[in-house]
Structure 1
C-alpha cells in the first residue's frame, strides 16, 4: 500500500477527530470510518441513547457522503455500547438507517466510551 492509494476523508458535517486519526480513510473502493460518537459537530451530546445512536449514524452518513459513498454500501458495522441494556433501543434507531440486505454487525458493551458517550459506531463500506 502506498500513501497515494490511501486518502483521508473529512467533513464539517460530523465532529472532527479528537486525536491523531482521520474521520475515515478510503483505500481503493473501500472506506473505513473511525468510531462515531453520538455528538454533533459542535461536540454536544443529546441526552438519550436513542438520540445519540441517531446522531452517530448521521455522522457516519455525512462522512460517507463526503467520500461519495452511501449507507447502502456499508458491509460491516461495529456498535459499541456503554450499557448493553440499551441494545434494543439502539437497534430500533439502527433499523431506520438500513434496509435488507443488512450489513454484518458486531455489538459489544465497553467499560467506557470517549467523552462519556453512550454509543459509538464504526463502519466499513465498499463501492
Structure 2
C-alpha cells in the first residue's frame, strides 16, 4: 500500500531500535509505545507517576501533531501498561485531566517489566480524517 508512511519528530523520544515513532496508514495513525522519556535529553523524567503519565501523553501528542493531527483530540484508542496496578488511580487522574469528558477507548494491563524499568507506557491509535493532510 502506498498510503502508508512512517512519522518521525524531534518532539518525541527516538532511539536506535527498529520501529517508527508512528505509522500513518490512510486516515489512521498508530503511535508506538512511549515511556516517560524527555525527547530533548533522551532520559526518563523525574517525578511521580502522574508527572510521568503526563510526559507520556505529551510524547504521543507530539507524534499525532507531526502526522497532521490535533494532538490528543484525535486519539481514539489507548493501551496503558503499568508495572504496578497500585498506580492505576493516579494514572487515571493524569489521563482524565488530559482527555476530559470524551476520552478514547482504552485497555490497561499490568506487566512485569517495561524498557528502562519505567512504571508506565502507553501506545495509541488516532483517527486523522482526510488522509491528504
Gaps of 5+ in 2: 129-133
SS at match of 1:124: strand
Runs (4+) of structure 1 exceeding 3 A deviation are none
Q: Summarize deviations over 1:94-113 as a string: whole Å, max 9, x none.
A: 01211332100001110000
- Aligned counterpart, 1:117: 118
- Aligned counterpart, 1:16: 14
SS at match of 1:57: helix
SS at match of 1:96: helix
- Aligned counterpart, 2:58: 58
Q: TM-score, normalised by structure 1?
A: 0.93
Contact 1:17 1:23 in 2 (8 A): no
What value does the CA root-mean-square deviation take over the aligned residues?
1.1
Q: Distance in 1 between matches of 2:108 and 2:16?
A: 23
| Number of residue pairs aligned between Structure 1 and Structure 2 | 125
Q: Distance in 2 between matches of 1:61 and 1:84?
A: 24
How many Å apart are 1:74 and its aligned residue? 1.0
Gaps of 5+ in 1: none
Moved more, 72-81 or 96-105: 96-105
Q: Distance in 2 between matches of 1:78 and 1:121?
A: 6
